[in-house]
Amino acid sequence: SQQGEEDPQALSIQEGENATMNCSYKTSINNLQWYRQNSGRGLVHLILIRSNEREKHSGRLRVTLDTSKKSSSLLITASRAADTASYFCAFLGLDSSYKLIFGSGTRLLVRP
């Protein structure tokens, strides 16, 4: 399978704590993206990091990318109950097909 792998599969934390999710992939990439999915809804784009970038920030989100290890991490700082959702990494390969391949996802529960 071309899918990326994410860990942990599920994460439960207290409001105010930080949440870290990891993503690994197997191919060379153009960019890597993170998406959020609330229960029963479509996916919403959070942040994109290009292959020549190592770290990117957006509000309470911090993404890192290590292309030598083919891995990425998403850190959500000072989590809130509203952050409860599933989070998916997705990567765009270097070939010309523009296929966006998704990881298996991390289910995050933030307890009030």
Sign of the CA dihedral running 66, 17, 89, 8: positive
Radius of gyration of the chain (CA): 13
- DSSP-derived secondary structure letter, 17: S
Rule CB under 8 A: is residue 57 a binding residue for another protein? no
CA atoms within 13 A on the CB side of 8: 9
Write the interaction track for another protein spanning residues 22-51; mark x where CB under 8 A is met and - where it is not. --------xx-x-x----xxxxxx--x---
Tell which one of 11, 72, 79, 105 touches another protein (CB under 8 A): 105
Task: Catalog residues that contact another protein under the rule CB under 8 A.
Answer: 1-4, 6, 9, 30-31, 33, 35, 40-45, 48, 88, 90, 92, 97-105
